[in-house]
Structure 1
Amino acid sequence: MTAEPPEIGIIDYEGAQQAAVLGMTDLIVFAERRAREKAKSEQPLLRLSHWRLVGGETGEPARIFDTAPTSPGRPTFLLVPPGLGAPLPQEMTARYAQWLRVQHSEGTALGSVCNGAFLLGETGLLSRRKVTTHWTYEEPFLSRFPEVELDTDRLIVDDGDIVTAGGIMAWIDLCLKLIDRFLGPTIMVETARTFLVDPPGREQSYYSAFAPKLNHGDAAILKVQHWLQATEGKQMSLAALAAQAGLQERTFIRRFQKATGLTTGDYIQRLRVNKARELLQFTKASVDQVAWEVGYTDPSAFRKIFGRIVGLTPQEYRQRFAV
């Protein structure tokens, strides 16, 4: 008896980005065909399906597209693509979420791209798990799912049975990762080369600008944030920051971290690195000059901090993004 091939199912919910749904379909179908050619096999090596709610208000998701419609089987991996609009509201995700919980309990791995993570979040399966989504959704995601360990610097977080991807175009990276998982690295690299895309290895931190939290309601801290923005983070003195807020230093430290989610040092480093990104992209200044311009007297310290926050050296960043 021939073993059933693993199946990747894409949740084609109302509002799903069709470029992602169809693009992932093309990548996976191509990779599976290439794998069969290399293996000289007539049997499918990977099954792809699309799923959507059917049967009215009480129905469950069912296959609406299937590359192996005569096979029984069940999905090995279910993937929630990004949506073009706002994240799905809770009332729209409930039926999908309940079904996904059942599938996961029976051994199916789950994944999401960009704001598709909101649907996964409604399953309750992300509690105390490391995940990612698009960096612009960080605040609403944590507000809705405060128990999740969110890391928006990562483009992909692969936790085995839960795999999440950050950017709206990160479906390419996630798809290649799944091709690697089910068909092997050789087929993954051949697919990436054919479609002229980079194999997985990028990070969201390469692209995400620092967007400080400003809607926390602490007027004293907001005043300091505005001041830091105006001075581009060049003021590092804790005494000066506390004086600007009109607070004692210990009180200021506690309230600043509570309001922004960052220590003052980390906040200022991110402001400086944000300015450095801009200079590296749009000027011809040397890396040492950029370091000095954004407030660092030690260029080597600047390089270390830039690399920690962005994930690339300043020179690598310039090579990728200079205009």
Structure 2
Amino acid sequence: MKNIAILVPERSVLQAIADPQFCFSAVNDFLIKSGAAPLFNVELVGLNPEVKLNDKRYSVFPDKLLPEASTPDLIVVPALFGDMKQAVEANEAYIPWIKAQYEAGSEIASLCVGAFLLGATGLLDGKKCSTHWGFTNLFREFYPEVDVQDDAIVTEENGIYSSGGAHSYWNLLLHLVEKYADREIAILTAKYFAIDIDRDSQTAFSMFQGQKSHQDEAVKKAQEYIEKKIEERISVDHLAEEVAVGRRSFERRFKRVTNNSVLEYIQRVKVEAAKRSFETSMKNINEVMFDVGYSDTKAFRTTFKKITGLTPFEYRNKYNKGIGVN
């Protein structure tokens, strides 16, 4: 039997504690009904006998306090809530325990922005990690040694798992069920909870928020220019001239502070504008394409799909139900 320790941190998301407990318990029920033995021993593990969450609206009572917990095969770190720095500081007492368990052979799974607490252990340094798409820039600031996977739903490396944003953690839970049980049980679990088992990207849900929490005024000026001139075809040379910086130095500085090349940033800003238009207007695909400075249909479709994971047609039909086919 696999011992699953689901942490109950301060300032955590209640659903990210309840959902994995429900998932692994449901798998046990499926197995028992099929005549097999249950697979998981699930424990909620906390620092205190009662943890109040969601502005103290709810109380969670851990099954075990940290010193009493069974030796875990898997530790689940749920999503945190609010200011990430404060949330991590409120749960620093977990850090040495998580490190010691991993060194003793336990695996670890962080759900969504639970990655911030896992990152504080140092165990992610040099490894791949997923987190909520809206927190990737902040995560990089906190943990520059971690290889953040911007769009991935699930990452796995050396017994450490992480998931993308919000309900993406269900895909990680299904991945773990398949690993510890089998594909058949994972599919049954996916059907029971109505989850798309093979979704592997969160790009369709992400909104590009240009990284501007830096002090390079020339790069900020270039970012503002790009965002104001959506309809224009902007070259790197032109931008470098606008901010009076040599091209090579400009490109190097831009990449360092935004984590995007200049061309990537231009593409992402234009695609974000196109997404908003598809979501809110009656314009057809060609009209939107021209509005964001593209004249080549193939280039627009290719760039749009690379960034969102969907074609413009698919995106529009997914997020604007009032649009007819054209």
TM-score normalised per structure 2? 0.86
Partner of 1:170: 168
CA distance in 2, matches of 1:282, 1:64: 45
Q: Which amino acid aligns with 2:80?
A: G
Q: Counterpart amino acid of 2:133?
A: W
- CA-to-aligned-CA distance 1:250-275 (integer Å, 9 cap, x gap): 33223222332222111101111111
**Residue of structure 2 equivalent to 1:322:** 320
2:13 aligned with 1:24: no
Letter in 2 for 1:19: Q
Q: Distance in 1 between matches of 2:197 and 2:30?
A: 17
1:59-85 CA-partner distances (Å, limit 9, x unpaired): xxxx9338xxxxx96311101001222
Residue among 77, 81, 86 paired with 1:84:
81
Deviation at residue 128 of structure 1 after TM alignment = 0.5
TM-score, structure 1 as length reference: 0.87
Unaligned 5+ runs, structure 2: 50-60, 322-326
Give, as a single letter, the amino acid of the residue that structure 1 aligns with 2:9: Y
Asked whether the 8 Å contact 1:114–1:165 carries over to 2, the reply is yes
1:44 to 38, 44, 57: 38
1:306 aligns with 2:300: no
Matched, 1:141 2:139: yes
Mapping of residues 240-255 of structure 1, within 5 Å: 240-255=238-253
C-alpha separation in 1, matches of 2:317 and 2:233: 30
Could you tell which deviates more after superposition, 100-109 or 224-233?
Answer: 224-233
Q: Structure 1 residues 270-279 or 230-239, which shifts more?
A: 230-239
Compute the displacement of 1:168 (Å).
2.6
Q: Is 1:34 paired with 2:47? A: no
Shift of 1:225: 1.2
Once the two structures are TM-superposed, the CA of residue 28 in structure 1 deviates from its matched residue by 1.8
- Deviation track 1:33-84 (CA, whole Å, cap 9, x = no partner) reads 112222x13x3222211111259xxxxxxx9338xxxxx9631110100122
Find the aligned partners of 1:181 and 1:306 in 2 and give their Cα distance.
34
Which residue of structure 2 aligns with residue 53 of structure 1? 47
1:233 and 1:258 mapped to 2: Cα distance?
Answer: 26
**123-132 vs 276-285, which moves further:** 276-285
Q: Secondary structure at the match of 2:299?
A: helix
Contact 2:6 2:78 (C-alpha < 8 Å) held by counterparts = yes
Out of 5, 10, 15, the residue aligned to residue 9 of structure 1 is 5
- Residue 191 (structure 1) shift: 2.0
Contact 1:234–1:272 under 8 Å retained in 2: no
> Contact between 1:31 and 1:187, CA under 8 Å: does it hold in 2?
yes
Q: Percent identity?
A: 29
Tell me the amino acid that sits aligned with residue 71 of structure 2: R
Aligned to 2:223: 225
1:267 corresponds in structure 2 to 265
Counterpart Cα distance in 2 of 1:250 and 1:309: 25
2 CA distance for matches of 1:44 and 1:191?
A: 14
Secondary structure, aligned partner of 1:170? helix
Query: In 2, distance between residues paired with 1:261 and 1:255?
Result: 10
Shift of residue 160 of structure 1? Answer: 4.8
Distance 1:112 1:133 in 2: 9
Q: What amino acid is aligned across from residue 82 of structure 2 in structure 1?
A: G
Q: Which amino acid counterpart does residue 26 of structure 2 have in structure 1?
A: F
CA contact (8 A) 1:155 1:205 kept: no
The residue matched to 2:251 in structure 1 has which SS?
A: helix
Structure 1: state its 5+ residue gaps: 56-62, 67-71
Indicate if the aligned counterparts of 1:233 and 1:271 stay in contact, CA closer than 8 A.
no
Contact 2:10 2:90 in 1 (8 A): no
- Measured after TM superposition, the shift of residue 233 of structure 1 is 6.2
After TM superposition, the structure 1 = structure 2 runs for residues 146-161 of structure 1, keeping only pairs within 5 Å, are 146-161=144-159
- Identify which range, 289-298 or 202-211, moves more after superposition: 289-298
Aligned length: 305
- Alignment partners' CA distance in 1, 2:2 and 2:14: 23
1:102 maps to which residue?
A: 100
Q: CA deviation at 1:317?
A: 2.1
